[in-house]
Chains A and B, each alone.
Chain A
Amino acid sequence: NAGVTQTPKFQVLKTGQSMTLQCAQDMNHNSMYWYRQDPGMGLRLIYYSASEGTTDKGEVPNGYNVSRLNKREFSLRLESAAPSQTSVYFCASALTRQYEQYFGPGTRLTVT
């Protein structure tokens, strides 16, 4: 039981490049989330998916898109990376109505 896995662990992009961050969970959770973590700002929700087939914007969705590919997988895409998107990105999952979220190890992204 691997829990929540994320790939890649590290990535360096040039401004304007695109990439997709992958997330998968094997806990049969319904809800999945993408956060970014910046120093002194805690966690900010980018997008979430309450269930397979649905996605909703969080607090900071601009510049990102998501896909809930199936119940297990939830990807985050940066179409045209900007230096302001330099951050650590975390994926999380939860059983609906259980509220506690389980986190992946994170992806450290640098945009130059």
Chain B
Amino acid sequence: AQSVAQPEDQVNVAEGNPLTVKCTYSVSGNPYLFWYVQYPNRGLQFLLKYITGDNLVKGSYGFEAEFNKSQTSFHLKKPSALVSDSALYFCAVRGGSNYQLIWGAGTKLIIKP
């Protein structure tokens, strides 16, 4: 069965420092992987996806994610964090059906000035 894990409930980073939000997955077949962000009292917004091709995927707001097949990971990264990046981040993987995504529990990212 497809599954995704976000091992950290919360990540704290100082403004200007690089940030990483971790995601690991378990799938049968080729993984289709996604990152979403949720700002307070808002719906989720799509950040980026990996389906095939280059292992480094660039997305919105300066975020990127690195697909690592051997480690079954898809970590979200940003070279220099902004206070405005503080939000809840979700990793997702395509489910068994073409129409579903399997979601991680979310990681709260806090960027301190």
Contact = CB atoms under 8 A, between A and B. Distances in A.
Q: Do A and B come from one complex?
A: yes
A10 to B, nearest CB: 11
B100 A48 contact: yes
B43 A105 contact: yes
Contact of B99 (A96, A100, A104): A96
Given A99-B49, A100-B34, A102-B46, A48 B105 contact: no
Instruction: Please indicate which of the listed interface residues A33, A40, A45, A97 has the most CB atoms of chain B within 10 Å of its own CB.
Output: A45
Interface residues of B, number: 22
B90 interface: yes
Interface of A: 4, 31, 33, 40-45, 48, 50, 58, 90, 92, 94, 96-97, 99-106
Contacts of A103: 43-45
A33 B105 CA distance: 18
Contacts of B105: 40-42
A96 B98 contact: yes
Contacts of A100: 34, 46, 49
Contact of A104 (B34, B43, B104): B43
